[in-house]
A and B are shown apart, each in its own frame.
Chain A
Amino acid sequence: MIEIKDLHKSYKMGSNSLHVLKGINFSCKEGELVAIMGSSGSGKSTLLNILGMLDEADEGEYILDGIPIKNLNETKAANYRNKFLGFIFQSFNLINYKTALENVALPLYYQKMPRKQRQEKALKYLEQVGLKEWSHHLPSELSGGQKQRVAIARAMVAEPKVLLADELTGALDSTTSYEVMDLIQKINDQGNTILVVTHEPDIAQMCKRIIHLKDGVIVKDEKVKQVRATANV
């Protein structure tokens, strides 16, 4: 599903150049649930942003489901993001003046899907994350866990090839974190490919594979025995 070869990325900080990713090689198959771990500054978020086409690599190859991702203009990148990727952020990033349903339906708006169809589909996904009754509430009326579940529904609604989650439990308490991870595991069980960036070992253990990142290189890539989140709830 994802193929990365010799990926480099550096940021310019004034006259200095900060080399963040120093040759990442990595591949992941369909249906995998991968955790990317590392301390802060290890380059894990940068990697995720490049995978999510939110940022561009300086060097190296990135192939997503057989499509080489390079030299994208803004419009093309936007279309790829819309079709291939779903994002889940630490701070949820819901649009605060739109209801849960409208937030979930937004990616479909950019696919130019008719309004009615959009809302039906969004409602279906809200139901999947257990928030059908909350569809007409604003984000400010939802708890953190509920917000993240709305965000997951929004990431899922366009039926992307890969879900990318950046510290998705970072703003949640542990009980809520496990609930959200339970949902992630269930989505993965349905065959979806999910990449999770985290620095919490217990969250990482709930994935099927952990990639350890240190100073811009992969130091360890291990398959783990998945801990089911339900056991902790």
Chain B
Amino acid sequence: MFSRDTWQEIFLTIRKNKLRTVLSGFTVSLGILIFVGLVGMTNGLQNTFEFFFSQDATNVMYVFPGRTSIPYKGYKSLRRIEFENDDLADIKNDFPMFLEYISPRIFRSALVKYKEESNNYTTIGVDWGQQFAEKTIMMKGRYINQEDVKNKTKNAVIGRLVEQDLFGSMNSMGKYIDVGGSVFKVVGVFQDDGGDNEERQLYIPYTTRQLIEKNTDKIDQIVIGFKEELGYTGAMAFQRSLERYLKDKKYISPDDENGFFVRNVADNLKQNQDFAGVLAIIAALVAFGTIIAGIIGISNIMVYVVKERTKEIGIRKAIGATPRSVISVILLESIFITTISGFLGMIIGMALLSTLGDKLMDDYFILNPGIGTGLAISATLVLILFGSLAGYVPAKRAARIKPIVALRDD
């Protein structure tokens, strides 16, 4: 079956029947090309989706203070709830297996001045963990660190647009700015994908903010980063036990929903994951559909090829070709053509995708389209397999036709 003679016969047939060869090869190449293209584009869509929804961390919970609505344990309703430093410490101590980091957020508006330039910005007193909750990207310098918090340093991290407003084209690093009457040293500049608003903010150590405000220990909000391994259900369970814990600690009725509020990003995460799942299903359907279409295309061309060769098969049989030799020649020829052109189509498709990059990002929301090499190769192999199978069935039938029928003049 694999003798040199057989292959010479096959190559001769391929060379002498260029149109047929090109036609069937083109079908296979096109099938694979479309498959690679469509799957790549869907992957690009998924990339865009991930890009958009990965701006803020998804394993974060925000706790906001409120006012009680139910009298409880001798306290009247409408009592204002406030969080303090020891709340942070207690949560840190009592939920170590859930926590990744914890940070307060104290929002204060302040007039910020540098030389002649001044403007009103939001300053946020934070701990180091806040950087991960916002996924803040440092352009220069560093973020607020544990030393800053411990020593209540007057260091500030300013947004990209704050630097632009106050310093123009100058470098702000190491310069001193006036924040609401206190002098802070700029230790870092950040950018944030969340938009211009977030880049018009300043981060300072929350302990410094408390020191300025007469050494209070109040904090506005609590940001809690939990371990990603918790997953959706784990995060929800953590939220429930945290709520119970805080209500108990702050003497809030278990039935009171207004003492404080918890915003859990895990909820959004769930929705995002669901949407990503739908996208993945669509991608799988597209892939499956194109593979089926490719198989049908190849089957058609194979049936046509064998049909076209019926007479030749009759002649060969009349002069002594066995059914086996007829089938093997047709089959090897079709495997050879589909393999070469299949991998050609695959390589062209992957090369095209890799040149696209983010060119389609703005208009079509397709980012870095691409396809896994393993998937592309297995799809190509599937097409080759079915192409051969599609060739085998009519070839077997053709080999069984009586030569007299095949040779009948038409």
A residues near B (Cβ < 8 Å) are 49, 52, 54-55, 74-75, 78-79, 81-83, 87, 89-91, 93-95, 97-98, 102, 106-107, 109-112, 115, 154, 158
Contact = CB atoms under 8 A, between A and B. Distances in A.
Interface in B298-324: 311-312, 314-324
Interface of B: 5, 8-9, 12-13, 16-17, 311-312, 314-325, 399-400, 402-404, 407, 409
B221 to A, nearest CB: 82
Given A91-B409, A106-B316, 10 more contacts: A74-B323, A74-B399, A75-B324, A78-B321, A82-B319, A87-B318, A87-B319, A97-B13, A154-B319, A158-B319
B8 A107 contact: no
> In terms of DSSP, what is the predominant structure of the interface of chain B?
helix
Contacts of A94: 315
B371 to A, nearest CB: 38
A158 B320 CA distance: 10
A110 B17 contact: no
Ranked nearest first, the 4 interchain pairs of A and B with the lowest CB-CB distance are A82-B320, A97-B16, A110-B320, A54-B404
B321 A110 contact: yes
A3 to B, nearest CB: 22
A79 B409 contact: no
B204 to A, nearest CB: 84
B312 A95 contact: yes
Nearest to A92: B315
Given A97-B17, A98-B16, A109-B9, A89 B321 contact: no
B402 A110 contact: no
Q: Which of B312, B324, B399, B404 has most chain A Cβ within 10 Å?
A: B404
B306 to A, nearest CB: 15
11 contacts: A52-B318, A75-B323, A78-B320, A78-B323, A79-B322, A81-B317, A93-B314, A94-B315, A110-B325, A112-B5, A158-B320
A111 B320 contact: yes
Q: Which of B318, B319, B325 has most chain A Cβ within 10 Å?
A: B319
Contacts of A154: 319
A74 B323 CA distance: 7
Contact of B319 (A90, A102, A110): A110
A50 to B, nearest CB: 10
Q: Which of A52, A78, A81 has most chain B Cβ within 10 Å?
A: A78
Contacts of B8: 115
Contact of A55 (B17, B322, B404): B404
A18 to B, nearest CB: 15
Contacts of B17: 97
Nearest to A155: B319
Contacts of A79: 320, 322
A90 B402 CA distance: 18
B5 A54 contact: no
Contacts of B12: 98, 102
Nearest to B403: A54
A209 to B, nearest CB: 25
Contacts of A55: 402, 404
Contact of A54 (B311, B325, B402, B409): B402
A115 B318 CA distance: 21
B329 to A, nearest CB: 11
Q: Which of B8, B315, B316 has most chain A Cβ within 10 Å?
A: B315
A158 B314 CA distance: 18
A78 B402 contact: no
A54 to B, nearest CB: 4
Nearest to A113: B5
A149 B285 CA distance: 59
Contacts of B400: 74
Nearest to B408: A91
Contacts of A74: 322-323, 399-400
A208 B403 CA distance: 29
Nearest to A50: B404
Contact of A49 (B314, B319, B404): B404
Given A54-B404, A93-B318, A109 B323 contact: no
Contacts of B404: 49, 54-55
Nearest to A78: B322
A103 B13 CA distance: 13
Nearest to B317: A78
B67 to A, nearest CB: 92
B5 A81 contact: no
A111 B403 CA distance: 18
Q: Which of B9, B316, B320 has most chain A Cβ within 10 Å?
A: B320
B223 to A, nearest CB: 77
A97 B315 CA distance: 13
B172 to A, nearest CB: 79
A154 B316 CA distance: 12
A107 B317 CA distance: 10
Contacts of B323: 74-75, 78
A94 B312 CA distance: 8
Contact of B5 (A87, A91, A95, A115): A115
Contact of B320 (A81, A91, A102): A81
B312 A83 contact: no
